[in-house]
Amino acid sequence: MDTGVARGDTGALARDVGIIVALGLVQMASMAALDVGSHGLWLHAASATQRTVSGHVLRLGASLTPQAAAGDVTAVTTSDLNKIGNLFETLGRLAGSVVAFGLVGAGLLTRSPLLGAVALVGVPLAVAGIGPLIAPLQRNMDHQRGELTAVNALAADIVSGLRILRGIGGESRFAARAGEATTRVRDAGILVARSTAWLAGAEVLLPGLVLVAITWLGARLAVAGTIGPGELVAVYGASAFLVVPVTTATEAVGSLAAARAGARRVVRLLGLRPLLTSPPDPVAIPPGPPALQDPLTGLEAPAGALTVVDAGPDAAALAARLTRFPDGVGSARIAGVATDRVDLASLRRRVVHAHPEDLWFSGRLRDELVARGALDVATALDAAAATEVVDGFPDGLDEVLGERGREVSGGQRQRLALTRVLLTDADVLVLSEPTSAVDAHTEAWIAARVAVLRRGRTTVVLSQGTPWRRVADHVVDLTRTLERSTP
């Protein structure tokens, strides 16, 4: 009999151990699935937001700069994406916490209705008590993001003008400005940390007070014989477990506050609209190289000809009108059609404006120099006197250049940029001072070869350089309102 009882106890123990091991394995698998799902949600939210913002920024094009600071886009991609991803990462755990809270609460009610009621009411009240701390945290986060945007914009300005600053000895002045801006970001970060600390303390204190109350009440009930010691231990363990879903809920609330601050910036960017739009009833431009006219100055650039224009200080405004970058300042005409009557996408394909300060993106040189017409890369490099520049790179066309092409000199960058423009093989090219950073000999080389390369296409060069005048089909001096044809 004793042996049978012992065997029965051993079998029951083995069964219980097996159940515990099985539950442990299920918990391990569940935690692994939770991690995969949570990180998947984070990646999906962050990447979807980044793709949406990047696509919208690209569609805005030149319309972005007048409407938003450089720091706005930088702050979204460096900070706000993480906050939005963190919110989605907590959603899975929050859903599980709600389910766990309901199941454990129901179990507590079956064990001890009084203690269960205290836990189910007290813990949510503790969470609600944390609510007043969220608004200050969100305000401080908004303030910090505003300062971060300002310092990002300042940093972009300093980096873009670093060479000029060194030339005029302005590095110390801008270093002081950068120091003041970063100090403001630090002070704003301290306010955020203070609010976060109060929130973290409340997350521990308020649910802990509920747990203390349940333990004290349960001990009184156990002394009175209302519940047994085992039930007291079970109730205490369940009540302690309820702190976990409560902590997850408060974490989700904090993530929501941070994500809302970032989402407002994202929504603001997505709310921007292009300053230039296509007309509702666009007029098609006839095929072939068109003529250009600017009624404001009387400029006429014949179709298929190289026209060199000396516009003096009005050169930038003239180039912008000819290529329709501003609106409301007088509409130029292409092939006799006002540019604001032409479909914008078609106009951008047919008419290309190149400026000495055009941006150079980081990446392989080959990826920048893409032929879009019959012209090949080698011919365009030769015309822009950029062959020797590429030959000087260890990897040639596979050389990787950083953002804005800062690894090369101004003259080299200008010749590579001219190569990129020539490769568009556009019907109309408007070139603003395309050789301002090269010597006279190189300028003459470029002017002669571009004239040959663009023969039969409409080309307008805004320049005061003599080499361009020598090869031009027409020369226009708007500073004297005098037009003449070169012999």
Structure tokens at 477: 């001096």
On the CB side of 300, CA atoms within 13 Å amount to 8
Query: Tens-of-pLDDT digits for all 487 residues of the chain?
Result: 455 555 556 777 788 788 888 888 888 888 788 778 878 888 888 888 888 988 888 888 778 878 887 667 777 877 788 888 888 888 877 887 788 877 877 877 777 777 777 777 777 777 677 667 666 766 777 677 667 666 666 666 555 555 555 555 556 666 777 777 788 878 878 888 887 788 777 777 777 777 787 778 777 877 777 777 777 777 777 777 777 777 777 778 778 877 887 888 888 889 988 888 888 899 998 888 999 999 889 899 999 999 999 988 888 889 989 998 876 666 899 999 999 899 998 999 999 998 877 677 778 888 888 877 778 899 999 999 999 988 988 888 888 887 767 777 878 888 998 999 999 999 999 999 999 888 999 999 999 999 999 999 999 999 988 899 999 999 999 887 544 434 3
> What are the φ/ψ torsions at residue 68 (nearest 5 degrees)?
-145, 145
Domain ranges of the chain: 2-270, 292-485
CATH classification of 2-270, choosing from 3.40.50.1820, 3.40.50.2000, 3.40.50.300, 1.20.1560.10?
Answer: 1.20.1560.10
Contacts of 215 (CB under 8 A, 6+ apart): 236, 239
* Domain 292-485 grouped into CATH 3.40.50.300: yes
Contacts of 391 (CB under 8 A, 6+ apart): none
What's the burial of 161, exposed, middle or buried (CB within 10 Å: 0-12/13-18/19+)? middle
Among 258, 21, 213, 192, which residue's Cα sits nearest to residue 120?
213
Distance CA 341, CA 457 (A): 22
Phi-psi region of 335 (alpha: psi -120 to 50; beta: other; left: phi over 0): left
Distances (CA, A) of 88 to 37, 45, 92, 127: 10, 7, 8, 20
Distance CA 204, CA 158 (A): 45
Give the burial string for 172-207 (b: 16+ CB within 10 Å, else e).
eebeeeeeebeebbeebbebbeebbeebbebbeebb
Largest CA distance in the chain: 127
